[in-house]
A and B are shown apart, each in its own frame.
Chain A
Amino acid sequence: EAGVAQSPRYKIIEKRQSVAFWCNPISGHATLYWYQQILGQGPKLLIQFQNNGVVDDSQLPKDRFSAERLKGVDSTLKIQPAKLEDSAVYLCASSSRAEGLTGELFFGEGSRLTVL
Chain B
Amino acid sequence: AQRVTQPEKLLSVFKGAPVELKCNYSYSGSPELFWYVQYSRQRLQLLLRHISRESIKGFTADLNKGETSFHLKKPFAQEEDSAMYYCALMNAGGTSYGKLTFGQGTILTVHP
Residues of A within 8 A of B (CB): 3-4, 31, 33, 40-45, 48, 55-56, 91, 95, 97, 99-109
B44 smallest CB distance to A (angstroms) = 4
Q: Do the beta carbons of B104 and A103 come within 8 Å of each other?
A: no
Instruction: Tell me the chain B residues, 1-37 only, with Cβ under 8 Å from chain A.
Output: 4, 9, 32, 34
> Bound state CA distance, A4 and B97, in angstroms?
19
Q: Do the beta carbons of A100 and B98 come within 8 Å of each other?
A: yes
Q: Do the beta carbons of B102 and A107 come within 8 Å of each other?
A: no
B45 interface residue per 8 A CB criterion: yes
Residues of B within 8 A of A (CB): 4, 9, 32, 34, 43-46, 49, 51, 86, 88, 90, 95-105
Q: Do the beta carbons of A55 and B49 come within 8 Å of each other?
A: no
Residues of B within 8 A of A33 (CB): 98-99
B27 smallest CB distance to A (angstroms) = 14
Q: Do the beta carbons of B102 and A42 come within 8 Å of each other?
A: yes
A48-B96, A56-B96 given as contacts; is B102 within 8 A of A103 (CB)? no
Contacts A42-B105, A43-B100, A55-B95 known; 4 new A-B pairs at CB < 8 A: A100-B97, A103-B90, A104-B49, A106-B43
> Bound state CA distance, A97 and B98, in angstroms?
9
Q: Do the beta carbons of B98 and A41 come within 8 Å of each other?
A: no
Q: Do the beta carbons of A107 and B86 come within 8 Å of each other?
A: no
Chain A's closest residue to B98 (CB) is A100
Looking at B88, B95, B97, the one whose CB has the most chain A CB atoms below 10 A away is: B97
B39 smallest CB distance to A (angstroms) = 12
> Bound state CA distance, A101 and B103, in angstroms?
20
Residue of B34, B98, B104 touching A95 (CB-CB under 8 A): B98
> Bound state CA distance, A36 and B69, in angstroms?
25
Residues of A within 8 A of B43 (CB): 3-4, 106-109
Q: Do the beta carbons of B102 and A44 come within 8 Å of each other?
A: yes
A55-B95, A103-B88, A108-B43 given as contacts; is B104 within 8 A of A45 (CB)? no
Residues of A within 8 A of B49 (CB): 102-104
Q: Do the beta carbons of B104 and A105 come within 8 Å of each other?
A: no
